[in-house]
Amino acid sequence: MAFVSTRDLNAVLTTRLAAGDPPEVSILPNPGFMHELADSRKLVPLHTVLDMNRIRRDYASSWLDLGTHHRKLYAIFYKATSKGTIWYSPKNFRAKGYSVPKTWEEMLALSDKIVSQGGTPWVIAAESGAATGWPLTDWIEIIVLNTSGPDIYDRWAAHEIPWTAPAIRRGFETLGRIVHTPKYVYGGPTGVLATNFINGAYVPYTSPPGAYMNYLGGFAQTFIKRHYPNFEPGEDYALFPFPTIEPEHAGGITGGADVIVLTKDTPGARSLIQYLSTAKAQEIWAKKGGFIASNKNVKLDVYPDVIARQMALQLTNATVFRFDGSDLMPAKVSDAFWKAALEYVNDPAKLDKILKSVEEVASDAYGKGKGG
């Protein structure tokens, strides 16, 4: 099997599909792209490939819904990630007598306490090369899910409510409550815009700690483990779930997963995708770490450490799970969303203008019905 990896998937895959030379199996970063491709009939529907009875036993309906386009399954999901995770150092918390906050108010109170003791509560790192801004939109998405609930969230992702709606505005402003409070964030708003998200993940573990908390998806564990190979999971670093903002919408988590689609129908590609969908295949990777399975029959004890098990539980037990909203939007809109978040951090006074300009992009992109 020849594996081609690229940092510019859109360009590579678009070109190869247009040239009539598609790879057999493609791994996409988001279901938005899957819908675009399925719409232009570039994908092979999986009901002819997989044993659908087994699939329905192995996967929660939320995962199958995510992979479905016009009532046909086109994708299975791999490497699931929880984005309901705030990273911290239990050692540092213990040294200062801080306890893990359960609500947004407790989290702000803790932040104030850290500031009053001369520390910096947060690191928020938005820089990510050509994709700069996504760590901020992750924040806004989980805030919207936890303040306004899954229905509003779904309507937002499908552009059934405008970007200027109060729920979305509140999402930005709630993030602003942290980013724009003096001394709350490592480097202030400029630090947010200029710090790379991987480097940012290390900041809570420097001595003295550069910050105490970092909201970043579950994949942060990979960076922390690589950078601090001697760290004890759950002791030197750990995670706590995103706090409750509105009690009626408590416990909603966002997340992501890699999307595996069949771009060329060959016997080899069929058996690969059949194999990848099984619990047995996913257990192999889960055992190695940095991987949470979407297949619900993967046993919890295969995960290598307490953190991975905590995330797997979070993903299977979540009352509400929603795919990363910007990954569901047309590329053009999620691009505009990233940019809007950067501009908002840079200058919160422009929020009205910023939201209006995303709304313009969205009306244009969704209006065409073809995702961009």
Partner 1 sequence: MGSALFFLTVYLIYPILNTAYISFLGNGSEEFTGLSNYWYVFTNADMLAALKNNLLWLLLFTSTTVSLGLVIAFLTDRVRYEAGAKALIFLPMAISFVAAGVIWRFMFEFRPAGVPQIGLLNAAMDSLPGLEPVAWLVNPRVNTFALIGVGIWVWTGFCMVILSAGLKSIPIGILEAARIDGASEWRIFRSIIVPMMGTTILVVATTMVIIVLKVFDIVYVMTNGNLGTEVIANRMYKEMFNYHHFGRASAIAIILLLAVIPAIVFNLRRFRAQEAMQ
Residues 70 to 129 in contact with partner 1, rule: CB under 8 A: 129
Least distance CB 63 / partner 1 (angstroms): 26
Q: Is 30 in the site for partner 1 (CB under 8 A)?
A: no
The three-state DSSP-derived secondary structure of the chain is: CCCCCCCCHHHHHHHHHHCCCCCCEEEECCHHHHHHHHHCCCCCCHHHCCCHHHHHHHCCHHHHHHCEECCEECEEEEEEEECCEEEECHHHHHHHCCCCCCEHHHHHHHHHHHHHCCCCCECCCCECHHHCCHHHHHHHHHHHHHHHHHHHHHHHHCCCCCCCCHHHHHHHHHHHHHHCCCCCECCHHHHHHHCEHHHHHHHHHCCCCCCCEEECCCCHHHHHHHHCCCCCECCCEEEEECCECCHHHCCEEEEEEEEEEECCCCHHHHHHHHHHCCHHHHHHHHHHCCCECCCCCCCHHHCCCHHHHHHHHHHHHCCEEEECHHHHCCHHHHHHHHHHHHHHHHCHHHHHHHHHHHHHHHHHHHHCCCCC
Based on CB atoms, which residue is closest to partner 1, 129 or 247? 129
Q: Is 130 in the site for partner 1 (CB under 8 A)?
A: yes
Q: Is 19 in the site for partner 1 (CB under 8 A)?
A: no
**With CB under 8 A as the contact rule, which of the stretches 6-14, 42-50, 143-151, 302-310 interacts with partner 1?**
6-14
Q: Is 359 in the site for partner 1 (CB under 8 A)?
A: no
**With CB under 8 A as the contact rule, which of the stretches 192-200, 232-240, 249-257, 301-309 interacts with partner 1?**
192-200
Least distance CB 130 / partner 1 (angstroms): 4
Least distance CB 199 / partner 1 (angstroms): 9
Based on CB atoms, which residue is closest to partner 1, 14 or 222? 14
Residues 294 to 353 in contact with partner 1, rule: CB under 8 A: 330-332, 335, 339, 342-343, 346
**With CB under 8 A as the contact rule, which of the stretches 73-81, 89-97, 186-194, 254-262 interacts with partner 1?**
186-194
Based on CB atoms, which residue is closest to partner 1, 102 or 370? 370
Positions that interact with partner 1 (CB under 8 A): 8, 10-11, 14, 36, 40, 129-133, 186-188, 190-191, 193-195, 210, 330-332, 335, 339, 342-343, 346, 357, 360, 365, 368, 370-372
